[in-house]
Amino acid sequence: MNTQKVTMEFVREALPPRREDGHKGDFGKVLVVGGAVGYTGAPYLVAEGAVRSGCGLVFLGVPEAIWPVEAAKCTCAMPLPVPGKNGMLCDKALKPLREKLAECDVLALGPGLGRSPEVQKLVLGLLETEKPVVLDADGINALAGHMDSLDARRGRVTILTPHDGEFARLGGDAEADRAESSRSFAKAHGCVLVRKGHRTLTATPQGTVLENPTGCSGLAKGGSGDVLTGVIAALLAQGATAVRAAACGAYLHGLAGDLCAGWLTEYGMTPQDVAEAVPSAFQTVLIEN
């Protein structure tokens, strides 16, 4: 099966429509679960990516220890302090997070979580939700050795966004042909796989692989993937299918990076700059003839 290239026309047609008389509740609610002492930027960047991609409401489920930082930093989202241990979330956070998730449309899980047995228990517990999940970073790492929790979500919307190292931790063959190994993984586990890297790939459970043409080396900086998670979660929350949210999210995120490189160079651009350029990426797609 051949790999298909994502085009600007595909993205333009796949974007969820915006009702002129819509209110914030009509444009989706995303719960971001992540962050830890030393990793306060990750959930913030997810929120930035989501709000700048049209999401109506974003909530941040973060450890109590970093709640003041998130509350001061992230004016575009509503931080929710939940129990933590040693600066990271713990399993006592599961109940309040499930209660908040019941009000939301999409769960973005993993950025900045850190790694511990309690974090892993929390991640596996949250994956039991029926809601769509975008799983990234330490959320992906928590799955290592517990792929049954991913397989149990077959039939529910699950988007994974690993780089090659995270892909390998889940048992994927990072040394094999990228398209074929991504296709095999997505089919085997019934998920949509966004394989980050040069020419990011979106692989579907049906065996389709979409290659993203946008992006540059300026995106190879810590925090860029958090912005991508936010963009994908926002499109999903607004009603895009999992495949469209993933492929369009990768395209728009990469295009935002390309725009930043033109303004600031690949050397000087930051993940915050990429988040701020996401609206310009939407504008480019929407007005291009």
The model carries a pTM of 0.98
Check whether domain 20-287 has CATH 3.10.20.90, yes or no: no
Write the DSSP string, the chain.
-PPEEP-HHHHHHHSPP--TT--GGGG-EEEEE---TT--HHHHHHHHHHHTTT-SEEEEEEEGGGHHHHHHH-TTSEEEEE-EETTEE-GGGHHHHHHHHTT-SEEEE-TT----HHHHHHHHHHTT-SS-EEE-THHHHTTTT-HHHHHTTTTS-EEE---HHHHHHTT--TTS-HHHHHHHHHHHHTSEEEE-STT-EEE-TTS-EEE-----GGG-STTHHHHHHHHHHHHHHTT--HHHHHHHHHHHHHHHHHHHHHHHHHHH--HHHHHHHHHHHHHHHHH--
pLDDT of residue 228: 99
Model pLDDT, residue 232: 99
Render each residue's pLDDT in the chain as its tens digit; 289 residues: 679 999 999 999 999 999 999 999 999 999 999 999 999 999 999 999 999 999 999 999 999 999 999 999 999 999 999 999 999 999 999 999 999 999 999 999 999 999 999 999 999 999 999 999 999 999 999 999 999 999 999 999 999 999 999 999 999 999 999 999 999 999 999 999 999 999 999 999 999 999 999 999 999 999 999 999 999 999 999 999 999 999 999 999 999 999 999 999 999 999 999 999 999 999 999 996 5
Q: Which pLDDT does position 2 carry in this prediction?
A: 76
Domain limits, the chain: 20-287
